[in-house]
Amino acid sequence: MKHLLTIAGSDSSGGAGIQADLKTFAAHGTFGMSAITAVTAQNTCGVTLIQDITPEMITAQIDAVFSDIHVDAVKIGMISRSPSIRAIAEGLRKWKPGIVVLDPVMVSKSGFQLLQQEACQTLIQELLPLATLVTPNLPEAEAICGFPITSEKDMVAAAKRIVELGAKAVMVKGSRLIDSQSNDYLYNGVQGIWLSSTRIETKNTHGTGCTLSSALAANLAKGLSIEEAAKASKSYVTKAIAHSITLGKGCGPTHHFVDLYEKSGLLKS
């Protein structure tokens, strides 16, 4: 069994963040571990408060895991402050995991600023060069690249720019670009491919970015190539969205264990 570490924030409603990551790891038959960067008070309607974990505690969590357990892949999610980013980068340089998937979480679906603006440049400088794969949505890609993305041509340019900044590969998520399609662009520094699917009409998409990046980390740890992992992970997330859970008053979560429920006969049509 592969061992995966998520370094991210906690979501009290269980649909995103650390909770979504651990569910996704388990759904892929891997063992999940965590280093929490922040505690958020949030539900399906939005985030109301964030309390950051100290950089010293983040470092201690990372060291505790790596010093005892072999880590096959790391997924990085929400980090709000520069000192936290630097602590994580130092930990990665110290322990040198073979696979690092970076989801540059910046703003919640409800519009809450999760990454402080001053920390964006720190993330670019410290974490992009350590990333095996980066998974920005369009606003995140714009923030990293510094130019607007309004077309698929812009997505290609953004992917190339992110690799130039140090990432080994990037998957630019373009679901906000075309109403009827969810087209993502995967670029490995040499060639790129488009991954397309039909958009699913639902408001229940809480945690989709966290889930996708965690699935990518799990599939890469299991030996899939970046292209194979991207295709498998996108398929998993699409199915999880199609069978999303209506929960709370806002945007419900995806169904992380959709395949298990289907095999056991528990999945409702």
From residue 188, alpha-carbon distances to 111, 166, 184, 262 in Å are 30, 11, 13, 34
* Whether residue 207 lies in the annotated active site: yes
Indicate which residue of 6, 23, 210, 251 is catalytic. Answer: 210
Catalytic status, residue 210: yes
Does 40 participate in catalysis according to the annotation? no
Told to judge if 44 belongs to the known catalytic residues of this protein, a careful annotator would answer no
Radius of gyration of the chain (CA): 17
Task: Answer yes or no: 145 catalytic.
Answer: no
Options 173, 192, 222, 251, the catalytic residue: 173
Given the residues 207, 211, 222, 252, the one annotated as active site: 207
Choosing from 6, 208, 211, 254, the catalytic residue is 208
Report the alpha-carbon distance of residue 37 to residue 40 in Å, rounded.
10
Classify 254 in phi/psi space as left (phi over 0), alpha (psi -120 to 50) or beta.
Answer: beta
Return all residues near 11 (Cβ < 8 A) that are at least 6 apart. 17, 18, 19, 20, 40, 42, 207
- Rounded to whole angstroms, how far apart are CA atoms 25 and 152? 31
C-alpha separations of 220 from 3, 92, 108, 158, 185 in Å: 12, 17, 26, 23, 18
**Catalytic annotation, pick one of 122, 205, 211, 254:** 205
Active-site residue 173, yes or no? yes
Q: Which residues are catalytic?
A: 173, 205, 207-210
